[in-house]
Chains A and B, each alone.
Chain A
Amino acid sequence: MLGVSIVVFCMVRAIPGDPAQIMLGQTATEAQVAEVRNRLGLDEPLPVQYLVFLKGAVRGDLGDSIVTGRPVVNELLVRLPATLELTGFAMIIAILVGVPVGVISAVRQYSVLDKVASTTALTGISMPIFWLAMILIVIFGVNLELLPFPGRLGPTTAITSITGLVLVDSLLTLNFAGFWDGLLHLIMPAIALGTIPMAVIMRMTRSSMLEVMGEDYVRTARAKGVAPWRVVFKHSLRNAMLPTVTVIGLSAGLLMGGSIITETIFSWPGVGQIAYESVNRRDYAMIQGVVLYGAALFVFINLAVDVLYAVLDPRVRL
């Protein structure tokens, strides 16, 4: 993590463009720019800046956003629920569709359904997310006027914030109209974001199911006359889930990359949107925060996957 922090810091500083200049705009004089640089500590030598940054980071303080002036950690926390809701919903769609279709494809290998599903999955991972998002907007948002966008809620909807998750808060406050509005806003971005993980999960479930079903013990079970659904669910699925779990864990990683693009297109006020904006605005502190935070989570997810793996597979010892 220390290595990551140094790399992040250096790269962020290497971005051309002076945040002070950007803040002050076209009319700024050199003296004003210098004053702002001084106030932000940008005129210190780089190693000093790094130490200041590191000292804060250890205490969970990633500095203040140059753009909004509020602590980076707060900014991230404010935006986190929106991203969580979107990625979570996308993931649920991906799993709910990906796993069953993957299992059925494997059980009915070479059937029409299998072929359609496999081709669809491959198509899914071959489509640019932003194109998919645009096409969804064109079809469902504009032509059919079925689904609202942009943002998380329509202008007439207000929801009391408890967790920051629209769907959860609206249910807690029994605001069903708000729930419905939030759900409708969520569908398009979640599909755009969830398609790739869905395809990946489907492919992995299928191939590991096939592999497991070829194993001796499954064949034995089948030969002994165990009911086919029992073979699938009891003997195969649990073992086949191991690699699927890994893929789900790692797919979670794909979602942040995707969320930068999806949130930008749908004006979704989450972390992905600010990640792109802060690069554009040279908000050093914010970029560092987003990237470090992302890197930390990546490590965390890998760890979680390993733990889950151990739980599912008794042969593996941590």
Chain B
Amino acid sequence: MAEASAQQDVIAAPAGVRTRSRWQDFVRTFFSNRLAVVGLVVLSLFILMAIFAPLIAPYDPLAQDLEGKFAGPSLEHPFGQDELGRDILSRVIYGARISLTAGLAAVALATVVGTIIGLLAGYFGGYTDSGLMRLMDVILAFPSILLAIIIVSVLGPSLANAMLAIGIVFIPQIARVVRSAVISVRERDYIEAERALGASNSQIIVSGILPNSMAPLIVQATLTLATAILDIAALSFLGLGAQAPTPEWGAMLTDAFKSGFGVFVEGQHALIFPGIAIALAVLSVNFVGDGLRDALDPRRRG
């Protein structure tokens, strides 16, 4: 026990020092980036909207009003009504829940699996590395939306399977980022020191390598989130994601678009608002991601 805690101290010291100075640095850089701050604010609004959807939404997102089919924006329905007369504003608000969680879940999956693969490949090198990375190459060799389509076809169309498919598609990107970060810290002195002190591989990976690979991982995960939200919407557009009557943004657009030519004549608002919601959410995540990258990547600073 004594020995173990001694080790902990040795490792913790340099890592801790690094983190603190970096953290202040990071906060300063990030908040000096106006777009990043705007992105953070908008994203926070979306998150609040998602959490408090039942309180904010003026209507039940599933409640139909068939007489109000494609009724345009009005005081009662600021965003108008959709092909079944449902309130578009309420659906957009509830949609934040679905689209954001779906995106986050996909990214979480990609991040966890990708990180493990990247850590293993980067740390052990040799056959483990080339084997795992070959596997990643095979995934990357597919036109990835087609890969996602095929995965969803195998599993059956549903929002959960769309998340899974998008998660799988993004694993290689995360794995590559983590791997190169690991390689760059693998031979550093403090890792050598740990090794010399007899720490096991898993101890070194978890306490030494992982924290020091976090910066690029966080940036990559954030930017992947933006893409994941878009791609899940795209799968929903192709009928492979969220199923009716779920108020998912992509599905809302498809349903309105496919409801007939009437949407062009009387229901154009039904094609506009959900799209704006997607674009705004993705844009804010991208702003935050860019801000994070600039703040965390010393090469890009100045």
Q: Is B230 an interface residue (CB 8 A)?
A: yes
Give chain B nearest CB distance to A137 CB in angstroms: 8
User: Chain B interface: which of A31-39, A47-55, A292-300?
Assistant: A292-300
Q: Are B230 and A128 in contact (CB under 8 A)?
A: yes
Q: Is B143 an interface residue (CB 8 A)?
A: yes
Give B254's nearest chain A residue, CB to CB. A130
Q: Are B283 and A299 in contact (CB under 8 A)?
A: no
Give chain B nearest CB distance to A63 CB in angstroms: 17
Q: Is A147 an interface residue (CB 8 A)?
A: no
* Contact of A122 with B286 at beta-carbon distance under 8 Å, contacts A128-B250, A130-B237, A142-B264 already known: yes
* Secondary structure call for the A interface: helix
Q: Are B237 and A128 in contact (CB under 8 A)?
A: yes
Which residues of chain B from 257 to 302 have any CB-CB distance to chain A below 8 Å in the complex? 257, 264, 268, 271-272, 275, 278-279, 282-283, 286-287, 290
Q: Are B154 and A14 in contact (CB under 8 A)?
A: yes
Which residues of chain B from 131 to 185 have any CB-CB distance to chain A below 8 Å in the complex? 134, 138, 140-147, 149-151, 153-154, 156
The residues of B that contact A256 with a CB separation of less than 8 Å are: 143, 145-146
Q: Is B209 an interface residue (CB 8 A)?
A: no
* Secondary structure call for the B interface: helix
Q: Are A134 and B141 in contact (CB under 8 A)?
A: no
Q: Are B150 and A11 in contact (CB under 8 A)?
A: yes
Q: Please, how many residues of chain B have a CB less than 8 angstroms from a CB on the other chain? A: 39
The residues of B that contact A129 with a CB separation of less than 8 Å are: 234
The residues of A that contact B286 with a CB separation of less than 8 Å are: 122, 125-126
* Contact of A4 with B138 at beta-carbon distance under 8 Å, contacts A15-B154, A126-B286, A128-B233 already known: yes
Q: Is B253 an interface residue (CB 8 A)?
A: yes
Chain A interface size, under 10 / 10 to 19 / 20 to 34 / 35 or more: 35 or more
Give the docked Cα–Cα distance between A264 and B239 (Å): 12
Q: Are A128 and B234 in contact (CB under 8 A)?
A: yes
Q: Is B226 an interface residue (CB 8 A)?
A: yes
State which of B150, B233, B275 has its C-beta within 8 Å of the C-beta of A135.
B275
Q: Are B268 and A291 in contact (CB under 8 A)?
A: no
Q: Are B142 and A122 in contact (CB under 8 A)?
A: no
Q: Are B154 and A16 in contact (CB under 8 A)?
A: yes
Give chain A nearest CB distance to B262 CB in angstroms: 11
The residues of B that contact A257 with a CB separation of less than 8 Å are: 143-146
Q: Is B66 an interface residue (CB 8 A)?
A: no
The residues of B that contact A17 with a CB separation of less than 8 Å are: 153
Q: Are A294 and B153 in contact (CB under 8 A)?
A: no
Q: Are A15 and B279 in contact (CB under 8 A)?
A: no
Give B256's nearest chain A residue, CB to CB. A134
Q: Is B6 an interface residue (CB 8 A)?
A: no
Give the docked Cα–Cα distance between A12 and B154 (Å): 8
The residues of A that contact B264 with a CB separation of less than 8 Å are: 137-138, 142
Q: Is B48 an interface residue (CB 8 A)?
A: no
Q: Are A134 and B271 in contact (CB under 8 A)?
A: yes
Q: Is B238 an interface residue (CB 8 A)?
A: yes
* Contact of A290 with B278 at beta-carbon distance under 8 Å, contacts A128-B250, A138-B271 already known: no
Give the docked Cα–Cα distance between A119 and B144 (Å): 27
* Contact of A135 with B279 at beta-carbon distance under 8 Å, contacts A257-B143, A295-B141, A295-B142 already known: no
Q: Are B143 and A138 in contact (CB under 8 A)?
A: no
* Contact of A276 with B238 at beta-carbon distance under 8 Å, contacts A12-B150, A134-B257, A138-B268 already known: yes
Q: B35-75 toward A: CB 8 Å interface, digit per residue (1/0)?
A: 10000000000000000000000000000000000000000
Give chain B nearest CB distance to A129 CB in angstroms: 7
Q: Is A123 an interface residue (CB 8 A)?
A: yes
The residues of B that contact A264 with a CB separation of less than 8 Å are: 238
The residues of A that contact B283 with a CB separation of less than 8 Å are: 122-123, 126
Q: Are A298 and B141 in contact (CB under 8 A)?
A: yes
State which of A3, A130, A253, A261 has its C-beta within 8 Å of the C-beta of B138.
A3
Q: Are B143 and A298 in contact (CB under 8 A)?
A: yes
Give the docked Cα–Cα distance between A275 and B286 (Å): 30
Which residues of chain A from 264 to 300 have any CB-CB distance to chain B below 8 Å in the complex? 264, 275-276, 279, 287, 290-291, 294-295, 298-299
Give A129's nearest chain B residue, CB to CB. B234
Q: Are B275 and A134 in contact (CB under 8 A)?
A: yes
Give the docked Cα–Cα distance between A269 and B300 (Å): 44
The residues of A that contact B226 with a CB separation of less than 8 Å are: 126
Which residues of chain A from 1 to 32 have any CB-CB distance to chain B below 8 Å in the complex? 3-4, 7-8, 11-12, 14-17
Name, among B141, B150, B264, B287, the residue most crowded by chain A CB atoms within 10 Å (CB to CB): B141
Q: Are B279 and A128 in contact (CB under 8 A)?
A: yes
The residues of B that contact A299 with a CB separation of less than 8 Å are: 141
- Can you list 15 contacts pairing A with B, beta carbon distance less than 8 Å? A122-B290, A125-B286, A127-B275, A128-B234, A130-B234, A130-B250, A134-B253, A135-B275, A260-B149, A276-B149, A279-B153, A291-B143, A291-B147, A291-B150, A298-B143
A interface vs B, CB < 8 Å? 3-4, 7-8, 11-12, 14-17, 119, 122-123, 125-131, 134-135, 137-138, 142, 253, 256-257, 260-261, 264, 275-276, 279, 287, 290-291, 294-295, 298-299
Which 6 pairs across A and B sit closest by C-beta, in order of nearness? A131-B275, A257-B145, A126-B283, A126-B282, A294-B143, A295-B141
